[in-house]
Each structure stands twice: as C-alpha cells, then as structure tokens.
Amino acid sequence: MDVRNVADARRFSPDKGVRVPLFESERMFCDVLGLGPGQERPPVAHEESDAVYYVVEGRGDFTAGGVTRALGEKDAVRVPAGQVHAVRNGGTGNLTILVLAAPHPNYVSRRV
C-alpha cells in the first residue's frame, strides 16, 4: 500500500500553477494541482484518457465541453476522453485540486 498526504503535497507559486505528482504508473496518474488567485491551467484535451478533478480546498471555474461551472470543496467533475477542459482560480484564496487521469496520456501516446 502506497500512502501519500494530499495536504503535504500542495505547492503554490506566485508566477504559475504548480503540479505535484502524487501517484503515477503506465495506467494512470494522480497529481495535486495548486493554483493561486487568478491562475489557470490552459485548455487541454487527452484524446484517450478520462480525467477526474476533485476540489480539495478553495473554489474554481471549471470548463469542459464548452460549459463552465464554479466548483468548491468536495466537488468533483469527470471529463471524458477527448473533451477540451480548463480550470481557473477566480477567487482570492488558493485552489487545491486532485487530478486523476486513466489511462496515463503519456503512455497511451507511445503505443504502436
């Protein structure tokens, strides 16, 4: 059993969002994403990987498939493979998100 503490993995930078790998294998990844006020992760799509975003602390504006919703602590959103998605911290406090994707997009793209 591999145990990690999400709160201990949180990182923030005044310049940009910080992604900290928590767990990773060829089948999935799980990262802790820290966004300060006004920071965002630009739109991205993982063609063959579903993603789940779970808000650990704070509030953020999540966009997926052209729809934007404000989500807060304990909210989770699933983004299907291939769907463009992004997140922005429009608040005044930090935003901590647990990000999971499977299968791992880096390994899917290496298949022959």
pLDDT tens digits along 41-100: 999 998 899 999 999 999 999 999 999 999 999 999 999 999 999 999 999 999 999 999
Does position 12 have pLDDT exceeding 70, yes or no? yes
User: What integer is the mean pLDDT of 25-41?
Assistant: 96
Q: Determine the pLDDT at residue 111.
A: 44
pLDDT exceeds cutoff 70 at 108: no
Separation CA 98–CA 31 (nearest Å): 6
For residue 94, what are the contacts with CB-CB under 8 A and spacing of at least 6?
10, 12, 34, 35, 36, 37, 57, 58
Q: Report the candidate in 102, 107, 96 with the shortest Cα–Cα distance to residue 20.
A: 96
| 6-108 classified as CATH 2.60.120.10 | yes
Amino acid at 6: V
